[in-house]
Structure 1
Amino acid sequence: MRIKMPVIFAAAAFAAALSAPVFAGENVTAIANYQQVTDSYSFPLGDFRITALSDGTVPQDLYKLLTGKSQSHTTELLDKAFLANPVEASINAFLNQSPGKNILVDTGSGDLFGPGNGGKLLDSLASVGVKADDISDILITHIHTDHTGGLVRNGQPAFRNATVHVGAPDLSFFLDSSNAKKAVYPESYFDEAAKTIDRK
């Protein structure tokens, strides 16, 4: 697994294809008809096949997460949405396929959230016929546990053949342990970054 910086903004390549508006009632011809499987959804975008992949879910305690709000106000908002605390949050990644390339955007949480919380990305990839060693590139949108945790399994790189693209500001911030004492992020973010992001 190789780390490359600065980040390559692949999203910009996709944005152009999305810029042309499609209006209600306009006839649109499907480019491809993909067989859908559990925990994923595929669609075409130009020369790419984009697949949304589930890494599972993780419970979020909104009473702690939503700072500056009273618990009663948060409960009121949850009631209006027919939800209860904690709320299950989805963890997703995206597979972008083109001839000769399998590009993964983010890697889920791996095993960093503990048993039963996330960590299903490799199974989701397998469900669409892709192995970890088939991944050529990984684009990390930002260094948080639910985006970079899946880079490592049992202390070893999970995607051995992939070049990992990470933004230089994220690398310099989260891999500098001195920032842990002065940042608003929990120190665990810095510990987990050190476990999952390797420049070698």
Structure 2
Amino acid sequence: MPDGRRFGSYEVTVLIDGVYKAPIEHLAHASSETVRDAAVAAWAEPTVDMDVNLFLLRGPDGVTLVDAGTGPFWGPQLGLGRAALAGAGVQPEDVKRVLLTHLHGDHALGLFADDGAYFPKAEIVVPKPDLDFFGKSALKETVPTYRRGGFDIAARLLATYGERVKPVPGGPVLPEIEAIAMPGHTPGHFGYLIGKGAERLVLWGDLVHAPALQLDDPDFCFIYDADAAQGAASRRAIFARAAEERWVASGGHVSGFVHVERAGDVWRFTRA
């Protein structure tokens, strides 16, 4: 069981749900197909492998999660977050709330059991702009097939958790936890800023998938992004703010805790 780190009133632990292997052909670029094609040709492996994380927060009023992993729905190489929670001594009924960064399967499918709610007592905090978009079934046919999963998740979330679904527009969601809009990956993609004082933690969801590429060129992304240019702008803005304010950072596909530093015209992660 990894050790937790304290940020304000919360002890935060990274739990690994597994490793997602994104086909290198799914790489995209917000401004240059030529740059994208060169990067694909130069990549030494058929996939870009990335950790899939969820986060356990222990605070004054109990257990909160940021994201929930895949559950058993994406195959045996993923869904390990449930065992990690059990290893931390957390049972499903202990979870008081889940803060979702966005409505994609590797972040939200872990909310569901085969026949109902996996977390029977939890409130689900969801970005309102994401729920507003994915909650409109008429929009499903307007997006590519590989980006339609959010519509099914939104419908299942509302049917399963009902009044325990709490859409939030951004801003403070709990004492010492603020939702920050980071749109692009999805229309309402959020990060969460946790703690107070000099050391705070930003959990930025899917702002970053492939640091080896996106730190040198934030225009790199994957086809899963709803708006590649908006996602790149969010990356640049959050990298700059994290560096200036010396936030500790992590996310759905970042290994451990990092600091963001500007290195000339590019960015670097250092271990925090």
TM-score by length of 2: 0.52
Shift of the 41–75 alpha-carbon distance from structure 1 to 2, 3 Å rule, reads: farther
Say whether residues 1:73 and 2:45 are aligned partners: no
Distance apart, 1:194 and its partner CA:
2.5
Q: Choose the corresponding residue for 1:118, options 66, 73, 78.
A: 78
Alignment partner of 2:66 out of 90, 105, 109: 105
For each residue in 1:6-35, what CA deviation from the matched residue of structure 2 results, as whole angstroms up to 9, or x when unmatched? xxxxxxxxxxxxxxxxxxxxxxxxxxxxxx
Where 2:71 maps in the other structure, the secondary structure is: coil
Which secondary structure state, in structure 1, belongs to the residue aligned with residue 41 of structure 2?
A: helix
The whole-number CA distance in structure 2 between the counterparts of 1:105 and 1:133 is 16
- Residue in 1 aligned with 2:105? 145
Is 1:43 matched up with 2:5? yes
Greater relative contact order: 1 or 2 (C-alpha under 8 angstroms, separation 6 or more)? 1
Kept in 2, the 8 Å contact 1:47–1:98? The answer is yes
Moved segments of 4+, more than 4 Å:
none
Identity %: 28
Larger strand proportion, structure 1 or 2?
A: 2
**After superposition, what is the alpha-carbon deviation per residue over 1:116-162, rounded to whole angstroms, capped at 9, x for unaligned?**
23111110111111111100011011111111110002132110111
- Between structure 1 and structure 2, the one with the greater Rg is 1
CA–CA distance in structure 1, aligned partners of residues 84 and 158 of structure 2: 22
1:90 aligns with 2:51: yes
- Distance in 2 (CA, whole Å) between partners of 1:108 and 1:138 is 11
Contact between 2:111 and 2:119, CA under 8 Å: does it hold in 1? yes
Q: Is the Cα contact below 8 Å between 1:108 and 1:150 reproduced in 2?
A: yes
Cα distance per residue 1:31-80 (max 9 Å; x no partner): xxxxxx2xx3411112211111111112111212436322x53131x23x
CA distance in 1, matches of 2:64, 2:3: 16
- RMSD (Å), alpha carbons: 1.9
Q: Deviations over 1:88-134 (max 9, x none)?
A: 22110111111331010000111232x22311111011111111110
> In the alignment, which residue of structure 1 is the partner of 2:14?
52
User: Is 1:135 matched with 2:125?
Assistant: no
Aligned to 1:192: 153
- 5+ unaligned residues in a row in structure 2: which ranges? 163-272
> SS state of the match for residue 151, structure 2?
helix
Q: Give yes or no for contact 1:148–1:193 (8 Å, CA) kept in 2.
A: no
Between Structure 1 and Structure 2, how many residues are aligned?
Answer: 155
Q: Which residue matches 1:180? A: 140
8 A contact 2:100–2:125 mirrored in 1: yes
* Alpha-carbon distance in 1 for matches of 2:116, 2:155: 13
Distance 1:155 1:171 in 2: 22
CA contact (8 A) 2:71 2:82 kept: no
* Unaligned ranges ≥5, structure 1: 1-36
- In the alignment, is the contact (CA less than 8 A) between 1:152 and 1:158 conserved in 2? yes
Q: Does the residue aligned with 2:40 lie in a helix, a strand or coil?
A: helix
